[in-house]
A and B are shown apart, each in its own frame.
Chain A
Amino acid sequence: MSLVPDPVTASDRILTAIESRPAQIAPRDAARYDARFASRASSIVSSAMRDLMSLAERPEIISLAGGFPDTDSFPPEIFADVMGAVERDFVATALQYGPTEGLVELRERIADIMASEGAHARVEDIMVTSGGQQAIDLSIRTFVNPGDVVLAEGPTYPGAVPSLTTYEADVVHVPMDDDGLRVDLLEETLDRLAAEGRRVKLLYTIPNFHNPAGVTMSLERRERLVALAHERELIVVEDNPYGQIRFEGEPLPTLYQLDDGDGWVIYCSTFSKILAPGIRVGWVVAPAPVLRKMNLGKQGADLCSSTLTQRFILEYLRRYDWRDHVARLNGIYRSRRDAMLDALDREFPGEATWTRPRGGLFVWATLPSYIDTTDLFARAVTREVAFVPGEAAFRDGRGRHSMRLNFSYVEEGTIAEGVRRLGDVIGDLIEDYRALNPGPA
């Protein structure tokens, strides 16, 4: 899903006189494929909103739409040092295929990183993936048949939607509040679905600093959720890309930890947020029978994740303390978060509400119910500011009054300016609303 702007194509303004072989087929011939597409491919719709979102890629637009970590803060001298070490000692192995499950030394280090969040995983239960995205994709691919119900928070991670669609999951959203997933409503939903005879395969959840909602699941809810998973024998896919991106407060135990080895929780995480997304390395932790299936899935997808970047991470971890980089990032993100919350307080109307994340990359704002955020987006881009309209985070048409705002990628002043423009556009829509709905004479 192209919700993330691509700075490369954005600056790629002109392709002068490319004398390529005219390989592209004429539009009439495109129809020849339509009858041949697999049903899982035909259900991947190119949504109107995704088309509109491509405008957010324009360089002149202040984009609060993407989910980009800050990579400017990664010290070039450290990069050079690590790359130098790979060059000196590992050229042949870094350029070779690796094991599907990832380099064993890296899996050991991943276990250490998880332990720093209090989650104790066995190295043999860990598989390296190509980004956290592949961990999510493999989880769904391994369990979901077409039509199976996948439960997800409402809103859910927009980037999970293509996988959910590809495997033809029937997504049922469970509401959230400031304490995360409403586990009581999850229970009701499970009852209802059971009564309807629908097969629930798994729950996909982001307990820490939710994308897009910005909230964190309370300890009480976590405990209740894991207990419920045990009672109902429900597989929980815990996606934890942001757990280390914490600005304040104490870390809460992961669901994986609370499951205590019972095997109902499959854990996904990534180096994208604690190191950098361009290295495309994440991981999944699952019980052996599940991991065997995922391993087969991964063999089909890409054989193994890049050994070059796995080696890069290993050499980085050998030479530097990753916590230093995370601390640096968290300092940057904290002040950007503050800038965004200050700007929202200043610029957004009284009827609007928004989450106050204690970590992660996103704020989720909800506007008065008469404002449709996809329409708002159309007006916002004329003022050169972009965000993700809330409907991208739902599979059922909800979210139309909400929006996701990212604070990790642009600097404080730009955030303030972007939110100011959004406030103007919202004010404009409110004025329209009042003009269109005059009170009694």
Chain B
Amino acid sequence: MSRRRVAVLKGGRSLEREVSLRSAANVEAALRRLGHEVLSIDADQHLVRMLRAERPDVVFVAMHGRGGEDGTVQEILEILRIPYTGSGVIASERAMDKVVAKADFAAAGVPTPPGYAFSQAAFRELGAAEALPDIEESLGLPVVVKPARQGSALGITVAHEPAEVPAALMAALAYDDRVLLERFVRGRELAVAVLGTGDDAWALPVVEAVPQGREFYDFEARYTPGLTTLRAPADLPDDVAQEAARLALTCYRTLGCRGFGRVDMLLDGDGRLWVLELNTIPGMTDTSLLPKAAEAAGLEWDEIVSRILDQAALGV
């Protein structure tokens, strides 16, 4: 394969900055082993100028969360006409907003936990708080309260009592001005990584995250070695594993994702799968699920990075 000049975009202003720096370190190491020339760029206000000056052949976007995973950086790369890894602008935007993604998934027949979304303005200007008892009645307790656009489970709280819901909303609103209240599904945390694009997309083996002594797979559990056991492939009946892969691919294609992604879901006590969200730039740290899934598939990490790079393209 030819040696390319690859700019790895990382860091930025997102709250997942540090996670991104760790993902990027793994990506950069793999790119170097693959023989590419690596430009490591911490995204800031000089990004456009820097990309113009450095003229990379291709950009590997290793950013998570706002700015890097929500279509913003992708739009800039479209304008500059530099091919980039991962999903395009529209798919990134849709996946980043859990509310939009849920609606798309539901329309495609993918089960997702029932929920309601509110903007900050709904509470401030329209008295939406008065409707909370109705929501609690409709969804049942506990409910999960999430910021609509935030990764790595930041700002997510499980409220067990009606009295806990306002504080959970406060926490979620600190991360985004739109929040999602969702029925809490107790179950096993599964993730399916997807590689490829469109009809050629394929699912890697299901990975199960078993957080130790925590109610859900929160930020701390995600990025602290030892707090979570990852099982890859997950110990599942064949039909469940196949259904998980099918759902993941449906979600991935529905949003029009490209290159790679990861679909998070829960398996409840009745053996039903519920899709929670799709990450267009899943974590690539030492404790992340994607490298683990690759390992279960018998793929070397460098091979994964190489495939993602090969799929780099332009086009929203």
Contacts and interface: CB of A to CB of B under 8 A. Distances in A.
Interface string A35-73: 000000010011110111011001010000000000000
Contact of A370 (B41, B123, B170): B170
B15 interface: yes
Interface residues of A, number: 47
A161 to B, nearest CB: 15
Contacts of B128: 435
Given A26-B30, A55-B15, A34 B226 contact: yes
A259 B94 CA distance: 66
Contact of A28 (B19, B50, B291): B291
A55 B286 contact: no
Nearest to B286: A30
B219 A48 contact: yes
A28 B13 contact: no
Contacts of A31: 286
Given A15-B40, A381-B15, A24 B29 contact: yes
Given A429-B174, A432-B120, A432-B123, A58 B18 contact: no
B26 A375 contact: no
A45 B222 CA distance: 12
B143 to A, nearest CB: 14
Interface residues of B, number: 62
B288 A27 contact: yes
Nearest to B291: A27
B259 interface: no
A28 B284 CA distance: 11
Interface string B277-314: 00000001110100110110000111000000000000
B285 A27 contact: yes
B269 to A, nearest CB: 29
Interface in B117-151: 120, 123-124, 127-130
A248 B26 CA distance: 52
Interface stretch (B31-39, B103-111, B190-198, B238-246): B31-39
Contacts, number: 139
A42 B26 CA distance: 21
Nearest to B128: A435
Contacts of B44: 13, 58, 60
A152 to B, nearest CB: 22
Contact of A51 (B19, B26, B171): B19
Nearest to B124: A435
**Residue of B16, B21, B32 contacting most chain A CB atoms (<10 Å):** B32
A105 to B, nearest CB: 44
A22 interface: yes
B48 interface: no
8 contacts: A15-B40, A17-B39, A24-B28, A28-B294, A34-B226, A45-B227, A51-B18, A54-B21
Interface of A: 13-20, 22-28, 30-31, 34, 42, 45-48, 50-52, 54-55, 58, 60, 370-372, 375-376, 378-379, 381, 429, 431-433, 435-438, 441
Interface of B: 5, 13, 15-19, 21, 25-26, 28-30, 32-33, 37-42, 44-46, 50, 54, 120, 123-124, 127-130, 154-155, 166-167, 169-171, 173-175, 218-220, 223-227, 284-286, 288, 291-292, 294-295, 300-302
